[in-house]
Protein backbone atom coordinates (compact mmCIF):
# COMPACT_ATOMS: atom_id res chain seq x y z
CA UNK A 1 0.00 0.00 0.00
CA UNK A 2 1.33 3.40 -0.95
CA UNK A 3 2.25 5.67 1.92
CA UNK A 4 -0.32 8.40 2.53
CA UNK A 5 0.81 11.97 2.73
CA UNK A 6 -0.64 15.42 3.37
CA UNK A 7 -0.61 18.54 1.29
CA UNK A 8 1.72 20.16 3.77
CA UNK A 9 4.34 17.48 3.10
CA UNK A 10 4.28 17.98 -0.66
CA UNK A 11 4.05 21.75 -0.37
CA UNK A 12 0.77 22.25 -2.25
CA UNK A 13 -0.58 24.64 0.37
CA UNK A 14 -0.16 25.39 4.03
CA UNK A 15 -0.67 28.40 6.31
CA UNK A 16 2.03 31.04 6.25
CA UNK A 17 2.55 30.65 10.01
CA UNK A 18 3.32 26.94 9.59
CA UNK A 19 5.71 27.69 6.75
CA UNK A 20 7.60 30.09 9.02
CA UNK A 21 7.81 27.45 11.77
CA UNK A 22 9.12 24.94 9.24
CA UNK A 23 11.86 27.34 8.15
CA UNK A 24 10.48 27.69 4.63
CA UNK A 25 10.22 31.50 4.65
CA UNK A 26 13.53 33.26 4.21
CA UNK A 27 14.52 35.87 6.83
CA UNK A 28 11.66 34.84 9.16
CA UNK A 29 11.67 32.71 12.32
CA UNK A 30 9.43 32.23 15.31
CA UNK A 31 10.17 32.93 18.96
CA UNK A 32 8.02 31.73 21.87
CA UNK A 33 8.73 33.22 25.28
CA UNK A 34 7.24 31.95 28.53
CA UNK A 35 7.80 32.42 32.24
CA UNK A 36 6.41 31.69 35.67
CA UNK A 37 6.66 33.36 39.07
CA UNK A 38 5.37 31.22 41.93
CA UNK A 39 5.65 33.85 44.66
CA UNK A 40 4.45 37.20 43.36
CA UNK A 41 3.84 39.80 46.04
CA UNK A 42 2.80 43.47 46.06
CA UNK A 43 6.00 44.82 44.49
CA UNK A 44 6.36 44.57 40.72
CA UNK A 45 8.47 41.64 39.56
CA UNK A 46 9.40 40.04 36.28
CA UNK A 47 7.50 36.84 35.52
CA UNK A 48 10.43 34.55 36.28
CA UNK A 49 11.38 32.11 39.08
CA UNK A 50 13.40 34.66 41.00
CA UNK A 51 12.89 37.87 43.00
CA UNK A 52 12.44 41.38 41.64
CA UNK A 53 12.88 42.70 38.12
CA UNK A 54 15.32 40.99 35.76
CA UNK A 55 18.85 42.37 35.79
CA UNK A 56 20.94 43.45 32.80
CA UNK A 57 24.67 44.20 32.71
CA UNK A 58 25.62 47.65 31.46
CA UNK A 59 28.29 46.22 29.18
CA UNK A 60 29.29 42.81 27.83
CA UNK A 61 30.93 40.54 30.36
CA UNK A 62 32.09 37.01 31.07
CA UNK A 63 29.40 35.36 33.16
CA UNK A 64 29.34 32.48 35.61
CA UNK A 65 27.11 29.40 35.40
CA UNK A 66 26.40 27.43 38.57
CA UNK A 67 23.79 25.31 40.33
CA UNK A 68 22.63 25.28 43.93
CA UNK A 69 22.70 21.47 43.79
CA UNK A 70 25.84 19.35 43.95
CA UNK A 71 24.08 16.83 41.70
CA UNK A 72 24.25 19.13 38.67
CA UNK A 73 27.79 18.21 37.65
CA UNK A 74 29.14 16.98 34.33
CA UNK A 75 29.49 13.20 33.81
CA UNK A 76 29.16 12.10 37.45
CA UNK A 77 25.98 13.88 38.60
CA UNK A 78 22.44 12.54 38.57
CA UNK A 79 21.14 15.97 37.52
CA UNK A 80 22.10 18.27 34.65
CA UNK A 81 25.53 17.90 33.02
CA UNK A 82 25.65 20.65 30.42
CA UNK A 83 23.71 23.79 29.54
CA UNK A 84 23.28 25.69 26.28
CA UNK A 85 23.56 29.46 26.79
CA UNK A 86 21.93 31.68 24.13
CA UNK A 87 22.45 35.42 24.34
CA UNK A 88 23.73 38.61 22.75
CA UNK A 89 27.15 40.24 22.57
CA UNK A 90 28.03 43.93 22.98
CA UNK A 91 26.63 44.68 19.51
CA UNK A 92 23.45 42.70 20.34
CA UNK A 93 24.44 40.00 17.85
CA UNK A 94 23.41 36.45 18.69
CA UNK A 95 26.02 34.21 20.31
CA UNK A 96 25.83 30.91 22.14
CA UNK A 97 27.93 28.26 23.83
CA UNK A 98 27.73 25.06 25.86
CA UNK A 99 28.86 25.14 29.50
CA UNK A 100 29.78 21.97 31.42
CA UNK A 101 28.43 22.20 34.96
CA UNK A 102 30.45 21.76 38.14
CA UNK A 103 27.74 21.69 40.79
CA UNK A 104 27.81 24.68 43.15
CA UNK A 105 31.15 25.85 41.74
CA UNK A 106 30.84 28.60 39.17
CA UNK A 107 32.04 27.93 35.62
CA UNK A 108 32.97 30.96 33.51
CA UNK A 109 31.59 31.41 30.02
CA UNK A 110 34.09 31.60 27.17
CA UNK A 111 32.17 34.44 25.51
CA UNK A 112 31.07 37.82 26.79
CA UNK A 113 27.35 38.61 27.00
CA UNK A 114 25.22 41.71 27.43
CA UNK A 115 21.93 39.76 27.43
CA UNK A 116 20.89 36.16 28.11
CA UNK A 117 17.80 35.15 26.14
CA UNK A 118 17.57 31.47 26.96
CA UNK A 119 19.21 28.60 28.86
CA UNK A 120 18.49 24.91 28.31
CA UNK A 121 19.85 21.62 29.61
CA UNK A 122 21.55 19.59 26.87
CA UNK A 123 22.73 16.52 28.76
CA UNK A 124 21.87 15.04 32.13
CA UNK A 125 22.39 12.05 34.37
CA UNK A 126 19.90 9.45 35.48
CA UNK A 127 17.51 12.10 36.82
CA UNK A 128 17.05 13.46 33.27
CA UNK A 129 16.65 17.03 34.56
CA UNK A 130 18.39 19.69 36.63
CA UNK A 131 18.40 18.86 40.32
CA UNK A 132 18.86 22.46 41.42
CA UNK A 133 18.39 25.99 40.20
CA UNK A 134 20.92 26.65 37.46
CA UNK A 135 21.99 30.29 37.44
CA UNK A 136 23.92 32.53 35.09
CA UNK A 137 25.21 35.69 36.71
CA UNK A 138 28.18 37.60 38.03
CA UNK A 139 29.97 38.27 41.29
CA UNK A 140 30.78 35.90 44.13
CA UNK A 141 29.04 32.52 44.04
CA UNK A 142 27.72 31.30 47.40
CA UNK A 143 26.37 27.73 47.53
CA UNK A 144 25.74 27.97 43.80
CA UNK A 145 24.00 31.37 43.88
CA UNK A 146 25.83 34.26 42.15
CA UNK A 147 25.67 37.75 43.64
CA UNK A 148 23.78 39.04 40.58
CA UNK A 149 21.44 36.76 38.60
CA UNK A 150 20.74 37.42 34.91
CA UNK A 151 18.73 34.29 34.13
CA UNK A 152 18.09 30.81 35.52
CA UNK A 153 16.55 27.39 35.03
CA UNK A 154 14.08 26.41 37.74
CA UNK A 155 14.39 22.96 39.32
CA UNK A 156 13.26 20.22 36.97
CA UNK A 157 12.26 22.46 34.04
CA UNK A 158 15.37 21.88 31.86
CA UNK A 159 14.86 25.32 30.25
CA UNK A 160 14.67 28.87 31.51
CA UNK A 161 11.13 29.98 32.39
CA UNK A 162 11.78 33.70 32.17
CA UNK A 163 9.23 35.86 30.34
CA UNK A 164 11.87 38.08 28.80
CA UNK A 165 13.54 38.45 25.40
CA UNK A 166 15.86 40.97 23.76
CA UNK A 167 15.51 41.47 20.01
CA UNK A 168 18.84 40.76 18.28
CA UNK A 169 20.55 43.39 16.14
CA UNK A 170 19.42 43.28 12.53
CA UNK A 171 15.89 42.05 13.31
CA UNK A 172 12.47 43.40 14.15
CA UNK A 173 10.15 41.30 16.30
CA UNK A 174 6.41 41.30 15.67
CA UNK A 175 4.43 40.20 18.72
CA UNK A 176 1.13 38.69 17.65
CA UNK A 177 -0.38 37.09 20.73
CA UNK A 178 0.12 36.19 24.33
CA UNK A 179 -1.56 35.05 27.52
CA UNK A 180 -1.30 35.99 31.19
CA UNK A 181 -2.49 33.65 33.95
CA UNK A 182 -2.83 34.12 37.69
CA UNK A 183 -3.83 31.99 40.66
CA UNK A 184 -4.29 32.45 44.39
CA UNK A 185 -4.62 29.86 47.12
CA UNK A 186 -7.27 31.96 48.86
CA UNK A 187 -9.19 35.14 48.15
CA UNK A 188 -9.80 36.96 44.90
CA UNK A 189 -7.70 40.11 45.02
CA UNK A 190 -6.47 41.80 41.89
CA UNK A 191 -3.27 40.89 40.10
CA UNK A 192 -2.05 43.30 37.44
CA UNK A 193 0.08 42.04 34.57
CA UNK A 194 2.11 44.22 32.23
CA UNK A 195 3.87 43.77 28.93
CA UNK A 196 6.95 45.98 29.14
CA UNK A 197 9.41 47.13 26.48
CA UNK A 198 12.73 48.79 27.24
CA UNK A 199 15.01 50.26 24.53
CA UNK A 200 18.72 50.92 25.15
CA UNK A 201 17.87 54.26 26.82
CA UNK A 202 16.76 52.26 29.87
CA UNK A 203 13.22 53.68 30.04
CA UNK A 204 10.55 51.01 30.69
CA UNK A 205 7.44 51.47 28.53
CA UNK A 206 4.13 49.71 29.19
CA UNK A 207 2.89 48.05 25.99
CA UNK A 208 -0.18 46.33 27.48
CA UNK A 209 -1.90 45.87 30.84
CA UNK A 210 -4.29 43.20 32.13
CA UNK A 211 -6.11 42.90 35.45
CA UNK A 212 -7.14 39.48 36.72
CA UNK A 213 -8.10 37.48 39.81
CA UNK A 214 -7.97 33.70 39.26
CA UNK A 215 -7.87 32.65 35.63
CA UNK A 216 -6.28 33.72 32.36
CA UNK A 217 -6.41 36.62 29.94
CA UNK A 218 -5.34 36.37 26.31
CA UNK A 219 -4.21 39.40 24.38
CA UNK A 220 -4.14 39.34 20.59
CA UNK A 221 -2.70 42.16 18.56
CA UNK A 222 -4.73 42.33 15.35
CA UNK A 223 -1.91 44.45 14.03
CA UNK A 224 1.21 42.83 15.55
CA UNK A 225 3.25 44.94 17.92
CA UNK A 226 6.55 45.87 16.24
CA UNK A 227 9.58 45.73 18.56
CA UNK A 228 12.82 47.14 17.19
CA UNK A 229 16.28 45.63 17.43
CA UNK A 230 18.08 45.81 20.79
CA UNK A 231 14.79 46.37 22.68
CA UNK A 232 13.97 44.24 25.73
CA UNK A 233 10.45 42.87 26.08
CA UNK A 234 9.21 41.19 29.23
CA UNK A 235 6.14 40.34 31.29
CA UNK A 236 5.90 41.80 34.77
CA UNK A 237 3.24 41.79 37.45
CA UNK A 238 2.28 42.78 40.98
CA UNK A 239 -0.57 41.80 43.28
CA UNK A 240 -2.93 43.54 45.68
CA UNK A 241 -1.90 40.85 48.17
CA UNK A 242 1.05 38.50 48.58
CA UNK A 243 1.77 34.88 47.59
CA UNK A 244 0.35 34.74 44.08
CA UNK A 245 1.31 32.47 41.18
CA UNK A 246 1.49 34.05 37.72
CA UNK A 247 2.68 32.94 34.31
CA UNK A 248 2.93 34.53 30.90
CA UNK A 249 3.60 33.45 27.32
CA UNK A 250 3.93 35.43 24.10
CA UNK A 251 4.60 34.52 20.48
CA UNK A 252 6.64 36.59 18.06
CA UNK A 253 8.05 36.32 14.59
CA UNK A 254 11.54 37.70 13.96
CA UNK A 255 12.02 39.26 10.54
CA UNK A 256 15.47 40.22 9.36
CA UNK A 257 15.68 43.91 8.49
CA UNK A 258 15.99 44.75 4.79
CA UNK A 259 19.33 46.52 5.26
CA UNK A 260 21.03 43.43 6.69
pLDDT in tens, the chain (260 residues): 455 555 666 656 788 888 898 888 899 999 999 999 999 999 999 999 999 999 999 999 999 999 999 999 999 999 999 999 999 999 999 999 999 999 999 999 999 999 999 999 999 999 999 999 999 999 999 999 999 999 999 999 999 999 999 999 999 999 999 999 999 877 678 999 999 999 999 999 999 999 998 899 998 899 999 999 999 999 999 999 999 999 999 999 999 998 87
Structural domains in the chain, CATH included, are 9-53+164-256 (2.60.120.1330), 61-153 (no CATH)
Confidence (pTM): 0.92
Query: In the sheet where 80-88 sits, what is the strand order?
Result: 94-100, 80-88, 115-124
Compute the distance between CA of residue 16 and CA of residue 53 in angstroms, rounded to an integer: 36
* Strand partners of residue 238: 192
Compute the distance between CA of residue 15 and CA of residue 110 in angstroms, rounded to an integer: 41
Compute the distance between CA of residue 116 and CA of residue 46 in angstroms, rounded to an integer: 15
Amino acid sequence: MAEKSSITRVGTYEPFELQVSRGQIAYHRTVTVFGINTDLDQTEETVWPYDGLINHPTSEMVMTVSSDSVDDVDVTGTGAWSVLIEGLDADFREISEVVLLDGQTGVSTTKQYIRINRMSVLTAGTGKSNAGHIYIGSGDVTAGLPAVVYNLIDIGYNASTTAHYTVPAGYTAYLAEGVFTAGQSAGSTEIRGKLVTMPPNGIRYTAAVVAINNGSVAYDFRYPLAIAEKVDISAAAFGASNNNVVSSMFNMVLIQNADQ
